[in-house]
Amino acid sequence: MTTDDLDPGTTDPMSEHVPWQHIHHVIVEALHRHDLAPFLASVSEDIQYEEFGGVTTCSGKRELGDFLSGWLSNVPDMRVDVHGEWASGRSSFMEWTMSGTAKATLDGERKAGGIRFSVRGSTVFEYDAQGLLSAQREYWNPTPLLS
């Protein structure tokens, strides 16, 4: 079935079979608790991660885990507040605000007392046939975290 097969105003039945709300909750909780294992259990081995606004790309679960661990190390008080989320087919979307205190700028310059920041952004998630997260694209402005 494609979206062309749906009557206007109906829900895409594919989004009902993808655990997108669970995965959104799991990633936010993983970042708050600094425990990535539950989130990484929800992603495919070959996940593709892209960060637009930054220059980060990750290929595979291990590389994504290493990247997120680095973020949590640099921003120990990271907080993500979700403003909206929705899904269509095998994709879901989340609008959020990320805030915290970074120990260093994104280009590695350490700052005494850290850099307090709050940025708005959004994420596009894509899921494979098994309902695992297979792609994640982040859109946000990293300017507050640059030196």
Query: Is 70 exceeded by the pLDDT of residue 3?
Result: no
Domains contained in the chain, CATH given: 12-140 (3.10.450.50)
For residues 121 and 138, the answer to whether their CB atoms sit within 8 Å is yes
- At residue 4 the predicted structure's pLDDT band, cuts being 50, 70 and 90, is very low
Helix 20-33 vs helix 61-74: crossing angle, to nearest 10:
40
Residue type, 36: L
Query: Is 50 exceeded by the pLDDT of residue 11?
Result: no
Query: Could you tell me the end-to-end alpha-carbon distance of the chain, in angstroms, rounded to an integer?
Result: 49
- At residue 17 the predicted structure's pLDDT band, cuts being 50, 70 and 90, is low
pLDDT in tens, 95-129: 999 999 999 887 677 777 789 999 999 999 999 99
pLDDT in tens, 38-61: 999 999 999 999 998 767 899 999
- At residue 13 the predicted structure's pLDDT band, cuts being 50, 70 and 90, is very low
Query: Is 80 exceeded by the pLDDT of residue 22?
Result: yes
